[in-house]
Structure 1
Amino acid sequence: SFALWFPKSYAEFCKRNSQLKEKEPTFDGNIKGSIYSCCTANCTNTWTYIHRNGRNAARACCAINAGGPFDPKKGGQLIIWDLKLVIDFPAGSTILLPSALFRHSNIPTQPGDKRVSFTQYTAGGIHRWLE
């Protein structure tokens, strides 16, 4: 979906990944078939304070995936503060978010719920290192 909705950024990532592979032949990527070079897994009732991911590549979106048994109507919503949006974000959902540009957070889930997240991104420092 990154290639579909953000084709120019996707093409830039493909170019950067090729450059990275040239410079570091042992680089195999984050996950086979993924365009991103970094990932973070958050477990057990994951939620975040309002923040920007200022060290991520600014012209790109990160891929945030939600999982776990929780009631998405009672917690776990994604808030994109700069756009004044509160989005229900149930397990199995993925969003492409320019997390370096927009302030965002999550609402905590209910007691007993188990929300996890898996986020793929590229640190901006990797692109700067290649320049």
Structure 2
Amino acid sequence: MSIYAPRLFARYQKCKDDLLDWRKMRWNFESSVFAACTWNFGRAVTRPHRDFGNLAAGWCPVTALGDYDPDLGGHIILWELRLIIRFPPGSTIFIPSAIVTHSNTPIRSHEKRHSFTQFTSGSLFRWVANRNMTDDEFLRHASPEQKAQRDKAAGTRWEDGLSYFSTLDELESLYSR
């Protein structure tokens, strides 16, 4: 993530740092910017879904594990992008799981497919933006200027989210040195 989306990575890192400054918290993995993780064991086949609680413009790394034939099943499907991607055990993909419907194809009955997913809830980013308060608490205590600034930001949230993604030109110039 730090290589392909450095601004998005920095946003996650700042959220993590702000949360750790606010309270002495124990992070799942010290070197990860993601606040939470999920392990799925057994057959780990998902139906089409979006993870609405995650940061809308954020990424979610998904790692496939297990013992299955990746030519016959376990592919990840990104529905709006109309992509079916071969996803062998040991592979990791970063997807915007809150805005792209995703699932994976079934595996054979004798096979095992596990997954490991990391994510950060959008509510943690809101908590940090609200100076460690819920939305309701923030609105009760915010000045008129702070409320106006928040309303203005809400109108450009989509563009703001896109600004954290790198373009191919930016990555090329960054890594061609």
Could you tell me which of 24, 35, 38 is aligned with 1:37? Answer: 35
SS in 1 for 2:89: coil
| Residue deviations 1:46-101 (CA, integer Å, cap 9, x gap) | 11110111110112110100011001111110000000000010000000101011
Percent identity reads 38
Q: Counterparts in 2 of 1:85-100, with a 5 A limit?
A: 85-100=83-98
Letter in 2 for 1:21: L
Could you tell me which of 64, 67, 85 is aligned with 1:66? Answer: 64
Letter in 1 for 2:10: A
Q: For the pair shown, which has the larger CA radius of gyration, 1 or 2?
A: 2
Q: Which runs of 4+ in 1 moved over 3 A?
A: none
Rounded to whole Å, the distance in 1 between the matches of 2:57 and 2:82 is 21
**Residue 46, structure 1, aligned to residue 44, structure 2:** yes
Stretch of structure 1 that moved more, 78-87 or 121-130: 121-130
Per-residue deviation, 1:28 = 2.4
- Partner residue of 1:24? 23
- Partner residue of 2:124? 126
Per-residue deviation, 1:125 = 1.0
TM-score, with normalisation over the residues of structure 2?
0.71
Rounded to whole Å, the distance in 2 between the matches of 1:35 and 1:69 is 28
User: Aligned pairs, how many?
Assistant: 129
- Partner residue of 2:140? none
Letter in 2 for 1:31: F
Rounded to whole Å, the distance in 2 between the matches of 1:20 and 1:82 is 33
**Residue 77, structure 1, aligned to residue 75, structure 2:** yes
- What RMSD, in angstroms, separates the aligned Cα atoms of the two structures? 0.8
Which ranges in structure 2 are unaligned for 5 or more consecutive residues? Answer: 130-177
Which ranges in structure 1 are unaligned for 5 or more consecutive residues? Answer: none
Stretch of structure 1 that moved more, 61-70 or 121-130: 121-130
